[in-house]
Structure 1
Amino acid sequence: MRIPKPESWVEVRPEGLYVRPGRFHVDPTRPVPKAVITHGHADHARAGHKAVLATPGTLAIMAARYGVEEGQARQALSYGEPVNIGEVELRLHPAGHVLGSAQVSLTYRGSRIVVSGDYKRRRDPTCPPFEPVPCDVFVTEATFALPVFRHPPDSEEIGKLLHSLALFPERAHVVGVYALGKAQRVIRLLREAGYDAPIFIHGALQGLCALYEAQGVALGPLLPALAREKEEFRGRLVLAPPSAIADRWSRRLPEPVTAVASGWMRVRQRAKQRGVELPLVISDHADWDELCQTLADVGAPEIWVTHGREEALVHHARAQGIRARALALVGFEEEGQ
């Protein structure tokens, strides 16, 4: 049997990646009849699809964010479990990005393409680790695909936060975190570092923190940062979406030390522009070294880069003898936006 060329059965359409022999899209950016979703962030998991396939964790996140849409078919697929859609065998594998995140492995007539979704390689106490899957084509993100992006160990960044908390006991410490994934990961890292005091959280984080707890991720004591006296926040940690730090909400906090947990905090100018006093380089995406290591681990002779800093990763891959091209997909946001 002749093995088909990858571009003959997976193509870029205005809605995103389309798998022709299965008649479905992966992470489409607009409503489609059938969608396979890698994870629950809003730029990958949109509302309005007629049929959705994802991990149980991702389906739970989508239900929490969008509700259960009338007439929508929902199919849960566990990691490693095979399912045939048309002529395509599909499996989901851990991506290590957030709760429920998955890579999509597609096999058609002897050809295997793996779509990474968003991923990271370092340990995350809130989700299973990334699993390299050998393939013929690896479709990878490239959010931090520049050599300047080398993320420090998470323990160092959490140590910086706890040191500042001890150094300024009269001040509140407010940490900007993305509501899905980053908030829960930072909380778990704090708990592992020995911080067992209650953590105040913005209302926008409460629902997803409760969902993580329901999915078996213990977060310890959390308190709503609402309708409290200013003095209650002295010497305490407060987690909130980055956007809330810049508005009137944060004015209730006593002399707040402003922190943001993001891979973009590696860029000092970004931190300065946002008025961040304590930048924490904690990312839910692979850094440059991890991206390059992943290409070696999966061993694909060809890579496609979906979004991010595409040119640098394409150049690196070609220097390693790997065929590479940028897909220039639109509609995916930077981390923490």
Structure 2
Amino acid sequence: MPPPHPETWLRVTPEGLHCLPGGFTVDPVRPVERAVVTHGHADHARPGHRAVLATPETLAIMRARMGEGRAGESQQPIRPGEEVTHNGVRIRLAPAGHVLGSAQVCLEWKGSRVVVSGDYKRARDPTCAPFEPVPCDVFVTEATFGLPIFRHPPADGEVAKLLRSVALFPERTHVVGCYALGKCQRLIALLREAGWDRPIHLHGALMGLCRLYEELGVRLGDLRPATVAEKAALRGAIVLAPPSAVADRWARRLAEPVVAVASGWMRVRQRARLRGVELPLVISDHADWAELNRTVDEVGAPEVWVTHGRDDALIHAMAGRGIRGRALHLIGLGDDEEDAAPGGGGDAGEHAAAAEGATA
């Protein structure tokens, strides 16, 4: 008897992608009895589940963001490469390269293998383990940047652009909008690698997760709160803040701020202009168009399901290579600030914005 097709044992439900024989849901958007969570961003890691299985780092991030009592009544940590079996379904995690602790969920039942990627990137990140392709029968992928316009440049080149601007405008404060989990810590680590050994100042909303990263073994160097620093002390400094803060009154207290945002959405010129971004930095924690297609080819799955994002173009491109694509349209994924363009989430205008053109 051939292995069962994954459509017979993995179903889309209002809660998310549910494994019928295993009795658990991957990244559920509503409280469930059993959850397997790919990473700690709030559109994937929700509170109120009875039992949660994830990497130790993801569980620590969930506790930090939600509180101990809301991150799962029962928490089961497993590291990438370890394996557990639940109701006959083998569960293994593999690194996703998205943020610290992020993992792909590899499921096997009766000889059929599905890999659920969660969010992922293929670019190097000194703060987390790199993505590992896992051969499978069905690959379940995101497509946040699933349009040909999205080609992310090397992140170290964008950091060099930031440091050149700091050198050019030594009397001004460079304030960089970046998301609290993953992007902030990656940017700090890249700045350290580029030779920036001065203090980096942080908006208060970023401090807690940076402390947690350090507790989990990621060294970030001298970090200081921006809110208590004198204005004069911030001349020539780099300040990191949530994207929502760089354009509001909080940033006005800085010394002639150069407003920057680190995001894959900065590839779209219209986004940068509308948000008043003087220095767009194209640094993304998601796979770009080329990386999405490369990953699909590397895992070798004859069928690919797309959870969220720009699925039409990706499915069309895969069909040209003989790969069957299916859009799952999972509700709630990609709606968190971690995946949204600065100033708001994705909307119907994204395709128009992307068509308008990209930055150099």
- Tell me if TM exceeds 0.5: yes
> Aligned runs of 1:3-14 on 2, under 5 Å?
3-14=3-14
Structure 2 Cα separation of the partners of residues 159 and 227 of structure 1: 28
Q: Shift of residue 32 of structure 1?
A: 0.6
Q: Give the number of equivalent residue pairs.
A: 337
Match of 2:213 in 1: 212
Contact kept, 8 Å, 2:49 with 2:73, in 1: the verdict is yes
Contact kept, 8 Å, 2:144 with 2:334, in 1: the verdict is no
Match of 2:318 in 1: 317
Superposed CA offset, 1:84-110 (max 9, x none):
011100000000000000000000000
Match of 1:32 in 2: 32
Contact kept, 8 Å, 2:117 with 2:139, in 1: the verdict is yes
Superposed CA offset, 1:117-141 (max 9, x none):
0000011000000000000000000
Superposed CA offset, 1:233-270 (max 9, x none):
10000000001112211111011000000000000000
Contact kept, 8 Å, 2:96 with 2:119, in 1: the verdict is yes
1:180 maps to 2:181:
yes
Q: Shift of residue 198 of structure 1?
A: 0.3
In the alignment, structure 1 segments of 5+ residues that lack a partner are none
Which segment drifts farther, 279-288 or 221-230? 221-230
Q: Shift of residue 199 of structure 1?
A: 0.4
Contact kept, 8 Å, 2:3 with 2:112, in 1: the verdict is yes
> Aligned runs of 1:1-337 on 2, under 5 Å?
1-69=1-69, 72-333=73-334, 335-336=339-340
Structure 2 Cα separation of the partners of residues 228 and 300 of structure 1: 53
Runs of 4+ in 1 over 3 A off after TM superposition: none
In the superposition, the TM-score normalised over structure 1's length comes to 0.99
Structure 1 Cα separation of the partners of residues 265 and 253 of structure 2: 27
Q: Shift of residue 227 of structure 1?
A: 2.4
Structure 2 Cα separation of the partners of residues 160 and 237 of structure 1: 13
Structure 2 Cα separation of the partners of residues 197 and 37 of structure 1: 36
Structure 1 Cα separation of the partners of residues 230 and 213 of structure 2: 28
Q: Shift of residue 230 of structure 1?
A: 1.1
- The amino acid that maps onto 1:256 is P
- The amino acid that maps onto 2:32 is V
Q: Shift of residue 333 of structure 1?
A: 2.3
Structure 1 Cα separation of the partners of residues 104 and 17 of structure 2: 14
Q: Secondary structure at the match of 2:91?
A: strand
In the alignment, structure 2 segments of 5+ residues that lack a partner are 346-360
Q: Secondary structure at the match of 2:220?
A: coil
Q: Shift of residue 69 of structure 1?
A: 1.3
Structure 2 Cα separation of the partners of residues 175 and 150 of structure 1: 21
Q: Shift of residue 214 of structure 1?
A: 0.7
- The amino acid that maps onto 1:23 is G
Superposed CA offset, 1:57-95 (max 9, x none):
000000101111177000001101110011100000000
Q: Secondary structure at the match of 2:330?
A: coil
Q: Secondary structure at the match of 1:69?
A: helix
What is the RMSD computed on CA atoms of the aligned residues? 1.0
Structure 1 Cα separation of the partners of residues 265 and 24 of structure 2: 33
Structure 2 Cα separation of the partners of residues 307 and 300 of structure 1: 18
Q: Shift of residue 320 of structure 1?
A: 0.5
Structure 1 Cα separation of the partners of residues 127 and 60 of structure 2: 15
In the superposition, the TM-score normalised over structure 2's length comes to 0.92
Q: Secondary structure at the match of 2:291?
A: helix
